[in-house]
Structure 1
């Protein structure tokens, strides 16, 4: 019998299913090292193994960074996270690298280095990040469970099962004791309530997955183990409830990898330990969620990156391979085995499963063309995505793509970006989204909208009468219509009035976008129409108080590319494609603003923001109006063609 995670699983049912499958599950984990060893001489994995050896060399020659109180205190005193986290993730990187190397090709020296690393990790004051320990609760931090405490527990649990015949038994006993004290005792025995257990975002999946996998592997009391699994399933149901039926992740592609990745890792472990009886990937919604990366992949490993995500993401190939097998999703990307170094958090779970599960047969081979799918509209998120093929010279083709975001301004990892859009060409987002900024205390505190990557100042949205988009669920993009206009074309219209409550005379603001991305032509086109309707200020009834000058409107457009300003047009030249915007210079003044910031990885970035400022009013035909105007139109055409 297949049980769906939305059903009420009894502890007796779980206990019986695990009783039959647990011993085979442990043997399955133990045999993982055979698969690892088989890839040591495979050219597809050569760079991966070489990268791990760099960590091994550092472990043998450089002292392990200390997680000192001086580093810990920085977050509370300055809001700075970087110093502590650099040391923390260097420790986790060495641990993961030595664990994988020792499993694939054990030696006495490797095992000694690994045992010392494990011993040191088990001695840490807390497995949480400093930013995740509740203020004033440092004395309880050892039993606090955050994302990384859960990941650490999973890492160590899988490691000692896989290496049970070569690790010193004293090290194994310490690992078991620490996981019991830090995870099992507060979470499953004391039944402490953690806020993430009911969260509708990545925390519920990652925390419950890491802890749940450790419970499957290490808890010996079958009653407690069954209750632990039931508790884990409760959190996974909360996680799934954060997704609509469209399978879209409001947090962005990076957090899809994190949250649904760990959901999948737990689901597969539970399926194995129950001999297929408890299958969390049998829920129909999970197939739609599994399709999300393909729905927002633009070309060349570049994705729609609304919310806190990067443009370029290497989706873990192990995860995609398993989902391709279990959910029958198509993978239209090239196979890339990411290096551990490329993951800022050095995640064991991703790295291990990339080796165990990656299936080159499902991937597109290098040089094969990418076939654009039909336009995608994710109804619950209100995201529209469309791609098309442009002719780029003899026997060459180029993907051009467009994406637009609706939704509301109270989403997880929310940015103030309703109506914001991306234009993509030749493997590059030319009109772009800034992605995620540097995570500091201020990034998640009141007033966060002043940060460039979060606020409307970092997105292609207008400022109306000096007012910017506001926070909150009430600020939403109400969808007026959406339709597929051509095989690769999409039209969408939003009423965005509620996002601008502080604009004093704004009665209504509608943004319409029409993308024509037909296959074959050498040019694609986007038509943008912004319609502003005005009302008299409250308390004015006499003719003498009618609007005598146009309310101020500034339209903004974001890019990493320095634009070239020409008469009635702005042009952005990317590596392989050019985007040109045409505007009415009689109605709009254009200027360029340069913005310097830092990204999520603390790297300096420069963005160029084109600002179109309203000069005078125009009616629907574009004819200038007199002082008693009641609406403003902004009509812009964007053309994209190969360079």
Structure 2
């Protein structure tokens, strides 16, 4: 008996309904187009590329396409009951069961131990990829088990065997996986993997004692994850990884409640439970607090400013109602009625089915307005945001980031300033490039999107910020006085001898729709004639420089009608700095999906180095 939610294929009134026919139409059409065509491949030579030339996308792309086809076939079979589609599901299941490894190449531990460029099938690695396959097979078994038994007896036994060998036993028999917090801080891997392990155990582990043991371990693991998060609800990995960390933990919490026979809700009352409940209340608010307008969000670390995938907003809506956060619920509801939420390229079977079976979500009207809160200050995460027109995507919004350079998915970006105009980022963080072999290796900070030289922070006497937790902001504050302001000292982020302080103050004049960035620095010594200091600004859109006038204008249309597009004018002291533009052509698919063909860096290089100085840059909507 499965312990997962959502009705199975025998609930014909539910799955064969007219509403399902409409909601599932894109998936059914895709599943029927795929019938009789070759399944996507996942070849050993593709797997080996990670160690040969650094590419991981080729192999992962094939695996993901294979799983996506299985998801479409599964939901199409649920609706139609068509035996051809059930056979398609069986084919997809067996392909996954015969795949040598469910681990993604970038995470396989056989290479480090043996030098292999293929998986060691005798020593399964439990990573994100393995968890995803186990969970998908669990949901296929739960939803279509009776139909599979009718068409292909023995397939469900194969699912159980492979999942026990590759996922459930490695989870219970080895407790030194680094993502459990062994010698490393917890991050998004922990709830992502453990939630998928839990789903697999609830559907596929027939031994009640072993199932209870897994539930107990996951319960401990998810509690540890909640305890690891800051009380302000911030996620240092950014908005994108909120969905693959916090959201995964919320999904796991729902399954834990079901496994324990509890009503869905916050952790049970106790000292620890109360603290976790408050943390959950805060993290549920994080997505709407980072919203700039439309499709755009504050992008920090490896988080793209415009999501490259869509997400299951019903989850946020459900938890927002539980914690009593009307703004978070409104923000989630603003995504209701967008069909791509269900059927983007990375849709998972569990998330699609849970959205389809969420009656309160499906009953919501479309076109709810998001809250677009006036200001946000997360003191532990050290991220602040303010907008000139609270409740509207129009006007100017500014975000400031402090923190340190040892954060999860870190970029060297302490003191970064981001500015959006009418909901569209103009002064930007490049965000997440396509992951390759070196992305998380020793040469991570050789890649331009991660370096501070390509963030909106100073280049101090020719020196960039350094990675590591010790390179951090000092004394950041943010809030409203006569105007909104954020202030922090960046000096600690730079390995520059003699740098005493570098105070950055960012103010927003709401009435004037103007942001002012004032830098004030001091050294313990005189300059030694080395490279000069420069202030960098990474810009999206069309940029025009008027050096003689001391300003540049940036215009980023982002799909708006030309008559509605305003510009951001950046002004500086032309007597103190030399301006220059450098165009960065984008040849990375994931960056291009957000920014298009290019970004432009504006460098304001000081004329003279001194022991102390100031610089003021204004950014005005025009």
Fold shared by both chains (TM-score > 0.5):
yes
Instruction: State yes or no: 1:83 paired with 2:58.
Output: yes
**Aligned partners of 1:602, 1:586: CA distance in 2, in Å?**
35
Q: Distance in 2 between matches of 1:307 and 1:33?
A: 44
Structure 1 residues 491 and 386, CA gap change in structure 2 (3 angstroms): same
Q: Does 1:557 align with 2:553?
A: no
Change (3 A) 1:171 1:358: same
Q: Tell me how far apart the structure 2 counterparts of residues 311 and 27 of structure 1 sit (CA, whole Å).
A: 33
Are the equivalent residues in 2 in contact too, given 1:206–1:263 (CA < 8 A)? Answer: yes
| 1:380 and 2:391 aligned | no
Alignment-derived partner of residue 338 in structure 1? 340
Distance in 2 between residues matched to 1:167 and 1:553, nearest whole Å: 67
Partner of 2:599 in structure 1? 607
Aligned to 1:353: 354
In the superposition, relative to structure 1, how do residues 359 and 434 fare at CA in structure 2: closer, same or farther (>3 Å)? farther
- Please say if 1:183 is aligned against 2:167: yes
Q: Which residue in 1 is equivalent to 2:574?
A: 585
1:568 aligned to 2:564?
no
Q: Does 1:166 align with 2:129?
A: no
83-92 vs 320-329, which deviates more? 320-329
Q: SS where residue 443 of structure 1 aligns?
A: coil
SS at match of 2:176: coil
Give the match for residue 273 of structure 2.
none
CA contact (8 A) 1:157 1:218 kept: yes
1:32 touches 1:356 (CA, 8 Å); kept in 2?
Answer: no
C-alpha deviations, 1:170-223, integer Å up to 9, x for none?
A: 1111111111111122222x3453211225111000111000111122222222
- The separation in 1 between residues aligned to 2:357 and 2:492, in whole angstroms, is 49
Partners of 2:442 and 2:105 lie apart in 1 by: 20
Other-structure match for 2:81:
106
**How far is 1:602 from its partner?**
6.9
Provide Cα deviations, 1:95-130, integer angstroms capped at 9, x if missing partner. 111111112222111111111111111111011111
Distance 1:453 1:630 in 2: 30
Determine which of 433, 439, 463 is the counterpart of 2:435.
Answer: 439
Shift of 1:407: 0.4
For the aligned residues, what is the CA RMSD? 2.7
Equivalent residue number for residue 541 of structure 1: none
Give the structure 1 partner of residue 8 of structure 2.
30
Whole-angstrom CA distance in 2 between matches of 1:92 and 1:631:
58
Correspondence for 1:124: 99
Q: Of residues 300, 310, 317 in structure 1, which corresponds to 2:294?
A: 300
Asked whether 1:493 is paired with 2:487, we answer: yes
What residue in structure 2 maps to residue 626 of structure 1?
none
SS in 1 for 2:340: coil
Within 5 Å, give how 1:310-325 maps onto structure 2. Answer: 310-313=304-307, 314-325=310-321
Q: Which residue of 1 aligns with 2:402?
A: 406
**1:390 Cα deviation after fit:** 8.9
Larger radius of gyration: 1
The answer to whether 1:266 aligns with 2:267 is no
Seen in structure 2, the aligned counterparts of structure 1 residues 451 and 586 have a Cα distance that, compared at 3 Å, is: same
Match of 2:479, SS state, is strand
TM normalised by structure 1 equals 0.84
Q: Which residue of 1 aligns with 2:205?
A: 219
Q: TM-score, normalised by structure 2?
A: 0.87
CA distance in 1, matches of 2:481, 2:340: 38
Pairwise CA distance, 1:365 = 4.6
Q: 1:630 to 1:213 in 2, by over 3 A?
A: same
Distance in 2 separating the partners of 1:601 and 1:155: 25
Separation in 1 of the partners of 2:344 and 2:50? 25
State the partner residue of 1:60: 35
Partner of residue 7, structure 1:
none
| Paired residues of 2:540 and 2:600 also in contact (CA < 8 A) | yes
Q: 1:439 to 1:376 in 2, by over 3 A?
A: same
SS at match of 1:453: helix
Q: Alignment partner of 1:160: what SS? A: helix
Structure 2: distance between partners of 1:301 and 1:578: 19
Note if contact 2:487-2:504 (Cα within 8 Å) is conserved in structure 1.
Answer: yes
User: Could you list the per-position Cα deviations for residues 492-527 of structure 1 after superposition, in whole angstroms to 9, with x for gaps in the alignment?
Assistant: 1111111111x344322111111123xxx4x41111
Of the structure 1 ranges 354-363 and 458-467, higher mean CA displacement relative to structure 2 is found in 354-363
Which one of the candidate residues 222, 227, 232 is aligned to 2:218?
A: 232
Deviates more, 1:239-248 or 1:416-425: 239-248
Residue 461 of structure 2 is matched in structure 1 by 465
- Offset at 1:238? 3.1
Aligned-partner Cα distance in 2 for 1:564–1:39: 56
- Structure 1 residues without counterparts, runs of 5 or longer: 1-22, 537-545, 618-628
C-alpha contact 1:281 1:326 (8 A) present in aligned 2: no
Aligned residues of 1:248 and 1:378 also touching (Cα < 8 A): yes
Q: Is the contact made by 1:321 and 1:357 (CA closer than 8 Å) also made in structure 2?
A: no
Superposed CA offset, 1:36-67 (max 9, x none): 6267546xx84x63432354145314211222
What's the offset of the Cα at 1:376? 0.8
1:483 aligns with 2:465: no
Q: Is the CA contact 1:125–1:142 (under 8 Å) kept in the aligned structure 2?
A: no
The change in CA–CA distance for 1:552 and 1:479 in structure 2 (over 3 A counts) is same
The alpha carbon displacement at 1:342 in A equals 2.8
Give the drift of 1:573.
1.5
CA distances 1:129-155 after superposition (whole Å, capped 9, x unpaired): 111101236324762111121111111
Shift of 1:369: 5.4
Q: How many Å apart are 1:549 and its aligned residue? A: 6.6
Question: How far apart, in 2, do the equivalents of 1:583 and 1:362 lie?
Answer: 52
Closer/same/farther in 2, CA of residues 638 and 217 from structure 1, 3 Å limit: same
Bigger relative CO (Cα 8 Å, ≥ 6 apart): 1
Is the Cα contact below 8 Å between 1:40 and 1:104 reproduced in 2?
Answer: no
Change (3 A) 1:148 1:53: same
Say if 2:389 is the partner of 1:389.
yes
Q: Answer yes or no: is 1:534 the counterpart of 2:530.
A: no
Secondary structure of 1:385 counterpart: strand
- For residues 327 and 32 of structure 1, what CA distance do their matches in structure 2 show? 34
Q: 1:291 aligns with which of 282, 285, 288?
A: 285
Which of the residues 242, 267, 283 maps onto 2:228?
242
Please give the alpha-carbon distance, in whole angstroms, between the structure 1 residues aligned to 2:362 and 2:156: 38
Cα contact 1:317–1:337 (8 A) shared by 2: no
Q: Which residue of 1 aligns with 2:561?
A: none
In 2, Cα distance between equivalents of 1:197 and 1:34: 41
Aligned to 1:543: none
- Choose which of 604, 608, 615 in structure 2 pairs with 1:616: 608
